[in-house]
Chain A
């Protein structure tokens, strides 16, 4: 069963439900760099968290991106 994060990414990118998997490469999403920035901004708004450029260094899959958001959300919950 896809995670809530994956379902959210699918909705934001107007992809069919269940079409994304954690192993999928970000570069295989078929979106340009502007769309990727849009996706990141929307995810932060929806999940009420902040991610930073350094968080994405070396991130190549959707699953890794999900982990970044989980980590940041947990950190920001602790510090608030």
Chain B
């Protein structure tokens, strides 16, 4: 089935695809670098998941009768520029956890949009199953690192990355306001509904 994908829809689906590709490249390089152990094991699976998610989005866009747009910048580029490079395994996991929470929130918001295309909904549902595990394994790995790094240091690192993420997300919403218009309207409506409860 071929449908007309609006330019803004194509842009956002391409943005998701691009972010998944970049995530996969990052985790692949970390999986290659880390010493053998549980983190290397889970990081390798995470790397494979992100690569598959990029494929899901590629396939979704093509099923909608379009081709992905090549985008030069990803969310991760902005994020690393704002948060700074992670330097050790704890910081890598902390930045990953922050990013994965953002991804889940974004996909959940998109999933609830009225009139969502079936192909997009199916793709988000497929990805969300993996995302839950991503949060789980990274949280558990950080928990195991508490004796070495200290709970306080891990908490402050998470807060620093969370603050950077908030800033980057806000700047992307501002910059791409027109492209994300439908999503932003939906977000505002959701917030109003939440406030009314």
Contacts and interface: CB of A to CB of B under 8 A. Distances in A.
Sorting the interface of chain A by its residue count into under 10, 10 to 19, 20 to 34 or 35 or more gives: 10 to 19
Contacts of A38: 29-30, 32-33
Question: Which of B32, B34, B80, B91 has its CB near the most chain A CB atoms (within 10 A)?
Answer: B91
B29 A34 contact: yes
Contact of B88 (A33, A34, A35, A50): A50
A33 B91 contact: no
Interface of A: 33-38, 40-42, 44-45, 50-53, 55-56
Q: Would you list the 6 A-B pairs with minimal beta carbon distance, nearest first?
A: A38-B33, A40-B87, A41-B33, A34-B29, A53-B87, A51-B87
Given A38-B32, A42-B33, A56-B84, 16 more contacts: A33-B80, A34-B29, A37-B29, A37-B30, A37-B86, A37-B87, A40-B85, A40-B88, A41-B34, A41-B88, A50-B88, A53-B86, A53-B91, A53-B157, A53-B160, A56-B85
Contact of B85 (A33, A42, A50): A33
Question: Which of A34, A42, A55 has its CB near the most chain B CB atoms (within 10 A)?
Answer: A34
Sorting the interface of chain B by its residue count into under 10, 10 to 19, 20 to 34 or 35 or more gives: 20 to 34
A52 B25 CA distance: 23
A53 B33 contact: no
Contact of A41 (B89, B149, B157): B89
